[in-house]
Each structure stands twice: as structure tokens, then as C-alpha cells.
Amino acid sequence: MLHSVIQKNNYQDSINLMLLTNSINGLEGVTQGQVMMATDANKDILKAAGLFTDEVQGAGANDMAIVVESDDANILESVVEEVKRFLSNLSGSKKGDGIESVDNWKDALEAMPDANLALLSIPGIYAAGEIEKALDSGLHVFSFSDNVSLEDEIRLKQKAHEKGLLLMGPDCGTGVLSSVPLAFTNVTNPGNIGIVAASGTGIQEATTIIDRLGGGVVHAIGTGGRDLKEGVNAQTMIDAVVALEQHAPTDVILVISKPPAKKVRDNVMQLLQSLSKPVVALFLGEKPEAHIGNVSLAYTLEEAAKIAVDISNGDDVKANYNEPIDFAVDQPLAAGKTVKGLYSGGTLASEAATLISDALGLDNVKGEEGYILNTQGFQVMDLGDDVYTQGKPHPMIDPEVRVNKLKEVLKDESTGIILVDVVLGYGAHADMAAALAPSIKSALDEAQASGRQLYVIGSVVGTDNDPQNYAQAVQTLKDAGVIVESSNARAIRLALKLMGRELQVADKGRVEYTDAKIEVPAPGEKVLELLNSVPRVINIGIQSFTESITAFQGKALQFTWRPKAGGNQKLIRILNELEKREEEINASNDKIVARLIESQPFLVDARPAKEVIAELNTGEKVILHAGPPIKYENMTGPMKGSVIGAMLFEGWAADQEEALRQLDNNEVKFIPCHHVGAVGPMGGITSANFPVFVVENKTDGTTGYCIMNEGIGEVLRFGANNENVITRLKWMRDVLGPVLGQALRTLEEGLNLNVMIARAIAMGDEFHQRNIAASLVFLKEITPAITLLDIDQKDKADVIQFLANTDQFFLNIMMATSKAMVDYARKVQEGCVVTTMARNGENFGVRISALGDEWFTGPVNTPDGLYFTGYSAEQANPDIGDSAITETVGVGGMAMIAAPGVTRFVGLNGLDDAQNISEEMQRISITNNPTWTIPNWNFKGATLGIDIRKVVETGITPIINTGIAHKEAGVGQIGAGTVRAPLVCFENALIAYAKSLGINVEE
Amino acid sequence: MTNRSLTSAQSSVSSYLWQFIKQQPIIQARVHSIFSNGFNLKVRDRLWFVGKGEDNLSAIGLALGAADFERITSGLFVGAQVKLVPLFSRSDEQLDLTFTCYIRPMPITVTVYSIRVVDLSIPQITLDTLNRSTLLHQLEKAKVREQSGFTSALLEKVYTDFVDGPDPFSVASLQPLIGAGVGLTPSGDDFLQGIILFERIAGGPATVTDLTRQQLQNRSTTDVSLAYYQALFDGYANMQWINLCKAIESEDEQQIAAAIKKNQAYGATSGNDSLMGVLTFLRKARADLKTPKEADFAEFSLSTRSCFAVVPGHVKK
């Protein structure tokens, strides 16, 4: 039985997920489990593994999907607990490692302005885009990421070359720059050998042998496995080699290549022959018979390393490096026995396949996928190949794949020799030798007990300075019965000796290079700078890659990367297109935010709605509602309750039944508040005789209207419509509205709201959830005017008392203020600034500056928060109301730091959490409002101008502070909390905006 | 960029090492050992000592100005690769030398200009001159033994056996001195090197020299000691010894005292260990002078005999 849970917006890197998967699979009761980011590719993997669920189907690329198969119906409890424990440990270690962390390019480049290298380890599907960004930012790139298309590799390497930069990879597993280890790398001594290699474990094997021979490596530049293919034309290898030629500390250049395209190989050889520095070259798969000119040619990685060390010491190159195998073989294995190579390193596997094929005269037949050699019972496997590791950790970091394969090959009675490698170094398993040892020992014991001839031969790729100790790893393998040789080549040669077929390698002399030499191109200045400096690395992806850099005095900055736009390829493409028009769009957006900033909102009046909103003065039954357009039948309980209340208030119906009948007969016309210059909280229900505030934006006279706040609890805006509610509304119509209107009209200019807001924000209001300070400021400003009115004293007293009792009274003034601001800004139809956010209980609606009145909607979320006694989340109505107009202008949830106490509504606690929220909101905002500065935020202004590009790119949606209504009509408010705007509104707005700019938005 | 410090501080190279440097366009070395006043480089089967300041110019080495020395040794570690590229463009008496030290986080390159060649070949001084000098007298006053490695019980016995045992100055008594003591230049080696140096200076019989050369085939000692033995056999000594020789030749008591003091400050006990050898040589030479028929050292045992000076007028009881 499958169980799954989705953790929204929990992005973890692949290594963490693989280790987490292992951890979950170790839980009691779990038959099998998998934790993956819910990308489309991973969904396919889960489908193939029979682990696909509806929850996974609905998850996005930024969501972590946890799927387990178990007979235990409650298994998810322990699984989720384990996930929490695991990630909590991770975050603990992250906090302690002292590496500065950012999550976007802008911050990364600001935090490390002198960065010279981007180290990428992100899913391949996104790698090309990030590589390009790094190159465009003037950074060299080390791409551990693979699965970049060949076309992209060609294009990006060409771009790197043109910019004088080096693109190491894609699929560059290892590297050394200025003796600082990068990615999966061993710790080798610095020295005068410079390596350029199109293979990962090839570099590791060569560098570790060099180290153990007393030599040293200054740079080991990985090119990625396809660099010597046609099309790529060894671009990285050539750029690296010509730079090493000019790099004074490099005395010897060692080049290692996977089997190259002949034409490319010949071009590379011509370059190598033209260098002034001696070169050692190994073209895997070739068995050179002589050294040629300036290039000493090697057959194995061991030979290449030994030649390089000799030359680096100023010694002559020997004729033969094939030192005898010490292991005495009295009786070779019986005919019919075969060798099985179970490798974690691809290049080591290739070397084994080549040597075994050469010695035994086998065709180097690969056969089915995953085999480097598979013929006549002889098999060499690269267990790091995708065919073995999809959804599983690489065999360098997890023994499982190899342990299973070991059992499998033992079932083949012909198996006489098993070759294994153990790769040490940064990134590798903490003790792979010990992890493999029990299985190997068990296999050998069983073989001995059954009289079967079986040898396990291994080599350890490592140095004494690796995090795992080389000598200890060797001893662990020996204790398990493994015959350990000092190199992979020697291990293979021993296997062949046991087969009775010693590998013969003839002495090599040196012959002249007869083809023409070329003028060596000048290296890129930036490449030379890279080689002559300490690596300063922006590490994008796997955080542990920073460890080796900082441990060896390089500089590292962690870029905790998440896929842009949740990994949605269409949106990524649109964002990239918009990025090309960034300057123009930013200029448009600047006009919008400038209008918001220059707004001069004044509270000038309070009037019956019908007097200022023509649509309410037609004699028809017209009701305004919150959010984007909605039909009555689709309204949720509170809004329906409010509608009925309004009809009772207006006297259109004598009771609920009559009201419902009229509604069924479509006698009532509904219009969104936003369409008539108004806004309304919660249901937003506004009819002709509701008193409304009139806020005038004196910059150009734009007005904004909003009904008055009724207090909390049983109130119309939350759907209550009993007699008390209607009675209060009538009092507001007859007393509160007229009194406030009269008082306001006595003030020459009205009340300057910018000033009042600036005061109140400094007193701890954020103007959505908390308005007590602003309400008191309003009371302070309006009371003198009220007292001077020539009206009934009781009315004066009642009004002042009502204002004093109503902490949230200012919310509605703030909403009208915000409306007057955005409607002024909306007169410029340019850019992609959010100008409206409103909810009707069914849909969340967004409007943006360029697209005027067009709504972009998506289903609303339900708020999360605290509930009044007797109520719970189950009774909560989905998000509703126009009050998100406050967040639209940068207050409310956007300004959480101004009112940190509000965080307690959502289980957070205090200033840090509030600051984190506002900092997060800052990331989707264009600027800050200098008029509304927040003392808690070092007097930084409230955020201003939500940019839909930023929302879609980051996946960060505006957070909205809100009251929570009961989902049934007539009950009213039951709590308060926060809610997120749904991303889909912004995505749809982005697509429409791109389309309006002439961008092709289709797939 | 790789750090490239171009300096012109006073630096010097021994004429002994100069011969080797001249032969190679590029020299690849590994750091063998590091001290506060210098470090040893292993160049194939030889050791070169790079010292700080000319006072530390070794027979097998270079002496660099303090700033260059600090720059080169910053980040250096035992086993580190060092490349030296000499440039002989100025004159036969000078060279520029570029050091590339392969260290983390990146290699550093330091070019030292105008390194002077200093003749460190061991001079000849007659026994008469030696006798006329106050060297023996001053050495006996200098508390050489008390500050040497021979204060330990084990080494004291080896020493006593060599100078005062049943078979003094023999293979049997010399052999235990080779490699005896702690450190990279064991006290026994320093002691023998003091004697070998003065056998060479005096130009007389090379008894200890020959015995030592012979016994080094059978006895092991440190690479550093072996390098200094080799330099002495080839006729070269450290700058401080050459300065002592000059002081002796000058017959200036204060110069001799100063040279002794500088030698005493060399290493933990090395300087005093070597001076013990010099003292032993001089006492034997004096004994030979006084009682040539009884050319043994018994009467000069420090543990049993009182000391007296060679030079008339400076006799003290």
C-alpha cells in the first residue's frame, strides 16, 4: 500500500534526498520508499518504480514528495518524523559551518564581488541556463551538473571561449584549482604538474598516484566527458592547455582524454606538440607504441602519472613503467573463469575494459546499457551510470548498488575474479572500504567453503590527506580478503596474471613528430587570472562542496539554489525572454512605483455609497462585493450571509427567505468593488446606503472608497446578518457616517493619511491585522472636529465611544487609501507591477499595471491562524476580501516587521520571524516606500511594488494578514491569521504580460 | 596572480652549492625540514640549507635576507615542492634565483636578485697560529660542554670513551658517536665535524676524518648530518666557522670570542657540540705538542683533568 506526503516548497539537493531516502528505507515497516523533488522527470521515475500517487501528481518541482510502500497504515507518522529529524540535523550543520548563504544570483554577486568561479551542482535540466548566467556574470564555470544537451554544451563552451572564460564540464566530477580540491576530489599535494582531463576518476586516479609518488598537482582542470567530441572540438581542453603553457608554476602538462574523435584528437595533438612545456598524454583506449615529439604517451593512468612525476622531477622518461606484479600465481584460474569489474569510477571501468580486452583478445563489446565491457562472460560495469543510479545514490557515496551487484555476479559460476575500486576524497562515502568489506568477506568465505576459486582484487583511489585515511582503507580491504594493488592498472594486471595472461607492454622509445606545429594561441586573461589566484567560488547546489574549498583556503559562498519558476520550463523561458527586456520593463515599473510614492492620500469625507458611486444610485438592487467577479451561486457562506444582510439593511427584503427568493430570481446585480473605485473588507458587501469613506489622492484627485468598520465578531462583513448586525448598520448609516462626514468636511484639506500612517507604523501597526495605533491617531485627529459639530450630544458621544472601542477602525480607511493610490498608479498602463490583489472566497484575483482591468485568478487558499474559543480550522472559510489592497501597497503582511506580534497568529514568534517575512517580501518587491519607514527595520521603508516576475521566478507569493470568517453564512469572524496568494494568478498574469509584449508564450 | 616578490635584499650562496646550481637550469626540490632560522631542501640525494641572514649561510646552502626568507617560508611545509630557477646573467660572482613554492592556497614565486657567491672553502691555518691564538683558552672559558648535548649521561659516556677510554680515537670509540644524540644534526656528528673541520684547517693528519668517512659506510645518521659531513670532506664549512677561522687568523681576542659566541648560538646544542670537537682537537694538538711520544688524549679528559692554556702568558691553573 502506497502512502505519500508532499512538503510544499521544501527544496533539497539530490545528495540530501538520496541520503534521506536511505534513512527512510531503514525505518521499520517501510517496504520501499523514495524522497524526491516532484519534477516531471522524477514523477516518471516514481511511476516506473510503482510509487506514483495522486499527491505526487499534484506536486510541483519545488515540492518534496515522500512516498513509501508499507502495510502499516500509520507509517507516514514515523516517516514524516524521520524527515523532520533528518532535515533538522542538516539545518543544524548548515548553521554551524560558517559559510555565507544566499539564494539568488544578485545576492551572490553582491556578497562575493570578487568571485571568479561558479560551481554548479543542480539538476541537469536547469544547468544550461545557470551556466549561461554565470558566464554572463563573468565567472568561470565548473559544472558538476550533467544532462546538458550536446548543443547547449557546444554553445556554452563557445560563449565561454569568446568571453575568455573556462567552462569545466558539464559532468565535471572533480577538479583542483591552485591545489584547492573541488567537488568529488582527493586531497593531493601541491606541485608543478598541471592536468587537463576529460574524465572524473581519471583525474582522481592520476592525481592520487602522483601524490603517493611524491609529486604534486597545481591544477587539475576537468573538461567533461564530451569535450573531445566533434562539435565541441576540445574547446575547454585547448583553452586550459594554452593557459597552463603560460602558467609559470606548471612545469608538466598531463592530458587525459576519453576516446576522442579522431579529428579532434589530431588537433589537440598538434597543439600539444607545439607547446614549450613537456606533455604527457593518455587517450583512453589507445595503446601507444612510442612517445612522439614533445608528448609522452601513456597506456594507463598509472603510467601517465609516473611519467608526469619523472618529468616534474627533471628525470628522464623511462622506457617502461610496467613494474612486475608481486603476487605469486602458482596455478592460474581454470579455463572458463571470467572477470567481473564492479566500478564506481567510470574511467577506471573504461581502463579495466581496455586492458582486459587487449590482454585477452576480446572485442571491446559494451552490449547492453550500463556495461563498459560485456562479452564471453567478462563484464565491466560503471555502476555510477544512470542505468544503476536513477533515484539512488552514486556508488561512491552509497554501497548499496555495488553490494547488490556483487551478489548478482557471484551467482554466475564462471566468475573467478571481481575487480573493485574504492574512491576516497571529498564527496565520497565516509568509509566505503568498511561498507563493502562485510559483503566481500562473506563472498570469499562462501567461495572457500564451497571450494570455489574466487579472488577479489581492488585498488584505493586516495591519499593520506583525504578525509578518509588511505592506509586504513587499504587495510580494511585486505582484512576482508581483498588483494589490494596500488593502482587500478596493477589490479587489472593482477587479474590477468591470475587468468594466466599477463599484460605485455613493450618498451617505448621516442619518435619525432613529423606534422606541422602551430603557433600556440594566447590564453584568455581571465583564465590566467583563475590559474594564478585562490579560487573564489559561488557554490550553486550541493552545500558540502564548500567544505573542501574552505578547508584548503579557497573562498566559498553558498548559493542555495532552487529552480526558477518552480521548474516550469514554459515560465522559465518566458522569464528569460523578459530578462532580455529587463531595462525597458524596469523603467515602466519605476513609473508605477513612483506614482505610489508620490501619492498624497487625504481622508476628505464620509458619504452614503450611492452619493459617490454612481452604480449604486441607479434605482436597481446593486450590491458590490469583494474580489474579482463572482456569481451569487459561487459565493461562499460569509459573502452570501453579507448579501442577505445588505438586502435586509436596504429594506429590499423583509426576511431571509424573501432575500433568497430575490437572489434566486436574479433580482440583485453584483459588481466587484474594485470596478467602481471601491474596496470592501471580507465579503466587501456594499450597497447604496452604506456610509463609505472618501479618500482623495491629491496628486491628481483619484478617489478610493471603503465602507466603515463595524468592529469584530458578529458583523456583516464576516457574513453575520442577525438583527443586531442590521441595527448596527442602520446606526452607522444614520449616525456614524453622517457625523464623521460632517466632521471631516470641517477640516479644510481633510486628514493627511500619509502622516497618520507614518505615525502609526512607527507605533507598531501594519494596517491589516493591527490598526490600534492608527485608529487612535484617527480618533485624536477627528474628535476635536466632532466635538465642534452642532449635533446631538449623544450622537457625538456614541460616535467617539464607537471609535474608541473599535481597534480595527482604521483598516477601512487604509483600504480606501490604498485604493486611491493604486488607481492613480493604474492610470499608467505599463510594467508588471501588481495593482490589485483581492479575493472573493472562490478565487484570488490579481491585476497588473500593464493590463488594466484584466483579472488573473486562481483558487484561493484558506488562512492559517488562531481561532476564537470553540472554533477551528475546519470551520474556516477560504480567503476572502479586498483588504489585500493593503499588501498591494506594501503594508499588512508585507510589513510584518512593523508589527511582529502578528506572527503569533501563525505559530511564529517574535521579531526575527517577522523580519524574515518582510525580508522575504522584499525579494518580490521593487523598492521601499520612504514615506512609511519602519523603526524595527532600521527605518527602512515598507516594501513597495510587487513585481510579478519576481513572484514567479522565486515562487514567493505575497503573504496576507487576514481575519478568518466562518464558512457558513451568518456566524461571522472566528479567528485571524495569514494566507498566501496563490502563485497561479501571478503565473497567468506573467504569461499574459509576456504575450502583450509580443513574446511567444506557447510551448 | 601568483605572488611575485621581487626583492634585492642581501643574499648569498656558498661557493660549494654554487657549483651544483651552475650545473642545472631548473632545480626541483622538496622541503626536508624547517627551522626558525632556515629550512633544508632535498635536491635529489643532496640537502641544501636555506638560511635567514648571512650569519646562517651554510656550506650547503643559501642565506637570504629576512624579508625574502619570511616570504618564501610563509606557508611552507615539510614535503612541499620547491622549484628553483637560477639566472646567471650578471657575473660569475652573482646570480638571481627564482623560488616557486608549491603551497596552498596557491603557489608563490619569489625572485631573489643579486645573490653573492661567498667562498666557504675551509682555510688553512698553521698550528702555530692556532697555538698563538686564544681559541683554546676562550673555548675552555665558554662553558661549551655544559651547553652541549654531552651533558646527558648516555652521550657523556660515548664522549668519555672516545677521548679517555681504553681505546681512544679508535674505530671502536668513534663509531658510537656517529648519529648519537637527538635532532637533525645529532651531537655526536656535530662533535666529529668540529674535529674534522680543524683537522682540515690544521692540515695535519686526518685521522678522525678518515675514520669517520670510513665508518659512515657502516653507521647511519641523519640526512642533514650526512650533508654536512660531505661538505667538510669536500673542503667546505658554514659561514660561522669561516668567520671563526678569520678571527683566529686575525689573532684578535675579541673577534675570536665573538665568533665562538655566534657558533654557540647555532641550533639547540649544535654549535656547542661542534665546539666540543674543536676543543678536543686543540687539546689533543697541545698534548701532541707537549708530549709527542705519548700522543694520547687521556690527560685531557675534561672529567679528570684541569685545563690550561696553550699560549704562554695565558696560563691558568
SS3 B121: strand
Residue of chain B nearest A532, judged by CA positions? B1
pLDDT given at position A98: 62
- How far apart (Å, rounded) are the C-alpha atoms in residues A360 and A399? 30
Report percent pLDDT > 70 for chain A: 97
- Is A301 within 8 Å of A308 (Cβ atoms)? no
Encode pLDDT of A367-390 as tens digits.
677 899 999 999 999 998 878 877
pLDDT given at position A571: 94
- Between A865 and A627, the more confident residue is A627
How far apart are the CA of A552 and the nearest CA of chain B, in angstroms?
6
pLDDT given at position A13: 64
Confidence tier at A15 by pLDDT (50, 70, 90): low
pLDDT given at position B291: 59
Nearest CB to B105 within list A216, A314, A553:
A553
A563 preceded by cis ω (within 30°)? no
Q: What ipTM was predicted for this assembly?
A: 0.77
Inter-chain residue contact A248 with B28, CB threshold 8 Å? no
> Which of B2, B5, B100, B101 to probe by mutation at the A interface, max A CB count within 10 Å?
B2
Q: What residues have CB less than 8 Å from A92, skipping those under 6 apart?
A: none
**Does B3 touch chain A if contact means CB atoms closer than 8 Å?**
no
Number of other residues whose CB lies within 10 A of the CB of residue A660: 16
Q: Which residues of A touch B87 (CB under 8 A)?
A: none
Share the mean pLDDT of chain A: 92
Residue B316 predicted with pLDDT over 70: no
- Between A906 and B153, the more confident residue is B153
Number of other residues whose CB lies within 10 A of the CB of residue B92: 9
**Does B80 touch chain A if contact means CB atoms closer than 8 Å?**
yes
Inter-chain residue contact A534 with B24, CB threshold 8 Å? no
Residue of chain B nearest A314, judged by CA positions? B28
- Choose from A60-69, A135-144, B20-29 the range with maximum mean pLDDT: A135-144
Encode pLDDT of A521-572 as tens digits.
999 999 999 999 999 999 999 888 999 999 999 999 999 888 888 888 899 9
Strands B3-7 and B108-118: parallel
Q: Which residues of A touch B107 (CB under 8 A)?
A: 178-179, 190, 218, 249
pLDDT given at position B268: 85
Inter-chain residue contact B107 with A312, CB threshold 8 Å? no
Choose which CATH entry (3.30.70, 1.25.40, 3.40.50, 1.10.3470) describes domain A2-96. 3.30.70
DSSP state letters, A969-992: TTT-EEEEEEEEPPHHHHHHHHHH
Give how far Cα A192 sits from Cα of A189, B28, B34, B245, B298, Å: 10, 9, 21, 42, 57
Confidence tier at B285 by pLDDT (50, 70, 90): confident
Q: Which residues of A touch B24 (CB under 8 A)?
A: 314
The size of the A-B interface in CB pairs under 8 A is 68
Encode pLDDT of A181-199 as tens digits.
999 999 999 999 999 998 7
Domain A97-171+533-562 classification at class level: alpha beta
**Does B293 touch chain A if contact means CB atoms closer than 8 Å?**
no
pLDDT given at position B92: 66
Encode pLDDT of B125-137 as tens digits.
988 888 888 999 9
Please name the fold of domain A605-818. Enterococcus faecalis V583 fold (3.90.1710)
- Between A9 and B102, the more confident residue is B102
CATH architecture label of A173-322: 3-Layer(aba) Sandwich (3.40)
Q: Which residues of B touch A534 (CB under 8 A)?
A: 105-106
- Is A511 within 8 Å of A292 (Cβ atoms)? yes
CA dihedral sign of residues B46, B51, B54, B56: negative
pLDDT given at position A945: 98
Inter-chain residue contact A189 with B81, CB threshold 8 Å? yes
- How far apart (Å, rounded) are the C-alpha atoms in residues B86 and B84? 6
Please report, for chain A, the start and end positions of each structural domain, with discontinuous segments joined by +: 2-96, 97-171+533-562, 173-322, 338-504, 605-818, 825-996
How far apart are the CA of A394 and the nearest CA of chain B, in angstroms?
29
Residue of chain A nearest B99, judged by CA positions? A249
Give how far Cα A22 sits from Cα of A35, A39, A198, A229, A399, Å: 9, 20, 31, 37, 11
Q: Which residues of A touch B103 (CB under 8 A)?
A: 179, 190
Encode pLDDT of A278-316 as tens digits.
999 999 989 999 999 999 999 999 999 999 999 999 999
Inter-chain residue contact A249 with B24, CB threshold 8 Å? no
**Does A554 touch chain B if contact means CB atoms closer than 8 Å?**
yes
Residue A916 predicted with pLDDT over 50: yes
- How far apart (Å, rounded) are the C-alpha atoms in residues A630 and A671? 8
Confidence tier at B304 by pLDDT (50, 70, 90): very low
Q: What pTM does this model have?
A: 0.77
Residue A415 predicted with pLDDT over 50: yes
pLDDT given at position B309: 28
Q: What residues have CB less than 8 Å from A734, skipping those under 6 apart?
A: none
Domain A825-996 classification at class level: alpha beta
Number of residues that this document lists for chain A: 1003
Nearest CB to B104 within list A249, A529, A552:
A552
How far apart are the CA of A320 and the nearest CA of chain B, in angstroms?
22
DSSP state letters, B220-243: ---HHHHHHHHHHHTTB--HHHHH
> Which of B81, B84, B100, B103 to probe by mutation at the A interface, max A CB count within 10 Å?
B81
A249 preceded by cis ω (within 30°)? no
Residue B312 predicted with pLDDT over 50: no
Inter-chain residue contact B80 with A189, CB threshold 8 Å? yes
Residue A848 predicted with pLDDT over 80: yes
Number of other residues whose CB lies within 10 A of the CB of residue A800: 16
pLDDT given at position A58: 83
Asked if the domains A338-504 and A605-818 are classified in one and the same CATH topology, the answer is: no
Q: Which residues of A touch B104 (CB under 8 A)?
A: 178-180, 190, 552-553
- Between A488 and A542, the more confident residue is A488
pLDDT given at position A435: 96
Write out A201-224 in H/E/C secondary structure: HHHHHHHHHHHHCCCCEEEEEECC
Inter-chain residue contact A532 with B2, CB threshold 8 Å? yes
Inter-chain residue contact B28 with A180, CB threshold 8 Å? no
How far apart are the CA of A376 and the nearest CA of chain B, in angstroms?
48
How far apart are the CA of A13 and the nearest CA of chain B, in angstroms?
28
- How far apart (Å, rounded) are the C-alpha atoms in residues A177 and B104? 10
- How far apart (Å, rounded) are the C-alpha atoms in residues B197 and B232? 7
* Interfacial B residues in 227-246 facing A (CB < 8 Å): none
Nearest CB to A190 within list B27, B28, B102:
B102
Please report, for chain B, the start and end positions of each structural domain, with discontinuous segments joined by +: 3-118, 127-300
pLDDT given at position A364: 64
pLDDT given at position A244: 98
- Choose from A474-488, B237-251, B255-269 the range with maximum mean pLDDT: A474-488
**Does B153 touch chain A if contact means CB atoms closer than 8 Å?**
no
**Does B6 touch chain A if contact means CB atoms closer than 8 Å?**
no
Please name the fold of domain A338-504. Rossmann fold (3.40.50)
Q: Which residues of B touch A180 (CB under 8 A)?
A: 104-105
- Amino acid (one-letter) located at A642: S
| Rg of chain A (C-alpha set) | 36
Nearest CB to B102 within list A216, A535, A553:
A216
**Does A600 touch chain B if contact means CB atoms closer than 8 Å?**
no
**Does B107 touch chain A if contact means CB atoms closer than 8 Å?**
yes
The mean pLDDT value for A44-52 works out to 79
Inter-chain residue contact A533 with B1, CB threshold 8 Å? yes
> Which of A532, A536, A537, A548 to probe by mutation at the B interface, max B CB count within 10 Å?
A532
**Does A746 touch chain B if contact means CB atoms closer than 8 Å?**
no
pLDDT given at position B1: 39
